[in-house]
Amino acid sequence: MTPSYPPAGPPRRVAVLSVHTSPLEQPGTGDAGGMNVYISQTATEMARRGISVEVFTRATSSDQPPVAELAPGVLVRHIPAGPYQPLDRSELPAQLCAFTSGVLRAEAFHEPGYYDVIHSHYWLSGQVGWLARDRWGVPLVHTAHTLAKVKNAALAEGDVPEPRTRVIGEEQVVTEADRLVANTAVEARELVSLYGADPRAVRTVSPGVDLDRFTPGSRARARAALGLPGDAVVLAFAGRIQPLKAPDVLLHAAAELSRRRPGLRERLVVLIVGGASGTGLEQPAALRELAASLGIAAQTRFLPPQPGEALVHVYRAADVVAVPSYNESFGLVAVEAQACGTPVVAAEVGGLPVAVADGVSGLLVPGHRAADWADALAAVALRPGRRAELAANAVRHARRFSWRRTTDALVATYTEAARAFRDALARALREEVAV
């Protein structure tokens, strides 16, 4: 079949592939996290510009409708692939054939050239996008979000390495994609140095933050909403509970602070917000047990993943938000917290040096030693003047990131990829005619 030519200008319709997690899911538990927010926010922003977006994701329940509206102009298609239940990511490669079949069947109901570009998220979706690209004759833009080789080089103690299957799958997608979108310049270099990506195909596009939702506000009201004392020293973590995200580092640091400053114990609150995910599902009570063994169970409060305004309360209520991950391609939580006027103490890994301006909007900590983290947390939370300075800078720093700006760059990447794809098709046809 002769493929249709992609449009010369911005795309009219975008097919977004997100095999293992849906933008309709609540971030902070299971496999739902920053990627869900990324897809939801950029798809909605594209729809505001008149670009139709359809997100293909795996159906995990028979109660899910075949098609759901995420926002005006954004549809989520639930594709049956395997049992109607959540599957571990290690089980999903066996369902890629079924998922791909469902995606191709959905497209077959439309006229040829219905979608102008495919944007796949995570390597599983990239495998599907690679085949759809060849079938539909449209360019494939891929965002990895995380990379196996990078994760395996910085494993948390006791965590499980990413399998060779994923490494091979990522290498294939990197080779086949027309454009690769990296969250930071660090990730762009990793794609080139570790995966052999063509530098000409890599574009760096920072994720954004919802600057209308995440804004500074009353710390007193936020604490009242969460039932926290007004004079507490609040150290917060928000994210999936798994070794990669390292919430245990915050607990160890909090225990070290309590040991150094016994008078702090009565005022200290360690707020852990999120649900078990990944290898964290194997020992869902491990973090509570760690808090008890460290002697800070009474100071530690656990909350399930918080939606919308409730998450804003978490950020505003905290004296400091900790992001101690062993690897982050960007660190969306860090930017959301800063947009609320809360300084961040983060690990100096991956994209976090972009998300946090060290010494300006927060502090970066090399390594994960409890003593180093206790020093950094104390330098922010226990020094009101310093905290106020960082808080003001945090808001300014966060405003560098917006989903509008992210979407601008994505649409430009789609348009560029389509132009290059169209030119390559024209050359191939001319060569075929010449022969």
Binding residues for UDP-N-acetyl-alpha-D-glucosamine: 26-27, 34, 240, 245, 306, 328, 336
- The residues, any chain, with a CB within 8 Å of residue 200's CB and separated by 6 or more, are none
Give the ranges where 163-280 is alpha helix by DSSP (H).
Answer: 164-176, 185-195, 219-226, 247-260
Alpha-carbon distance 64 to 169, whole Å? 29
- Alpha-carbon distance of 151 to 153, in angstroms, equals 5
For the annotated binding site for Mg(2+), the residues are: 315-316, 318, 342
Closest CA to 333 of 317, 353, 350, 355: 355
**Per this entry, what is the length of the chain?**
435
Binding site listing:
20, 26-27, 31-36, 89, 122, 146, 166, 240, 245, 306, 315-316, 318, 328, 336, 342
Cα 347 to chain centroid distance, Å, stands at 16
For the annotated binding site for 1D-myo-inositol 3-phosphate, the residues are 20, 31-36, 89, 122, 146, 166
- Measured CA to CA in angstroms, residue 248 lies from 154, 242, 254, 290, 302 at distances of 16, 9, 10, 8, 13
CA distance readout (Å), 213 to 38, 87, 310, 358: 15, 32, 11, 24
Per the CB < 8 A criterion, the answer to whether 16 and 53 are in contact is yes
In this structure, the number of other CB atoms found within 10 A of the CB of residue 259 comes to 15
Q: Residue 158's CB: how many other CB atoms inside 10 A? A: 11
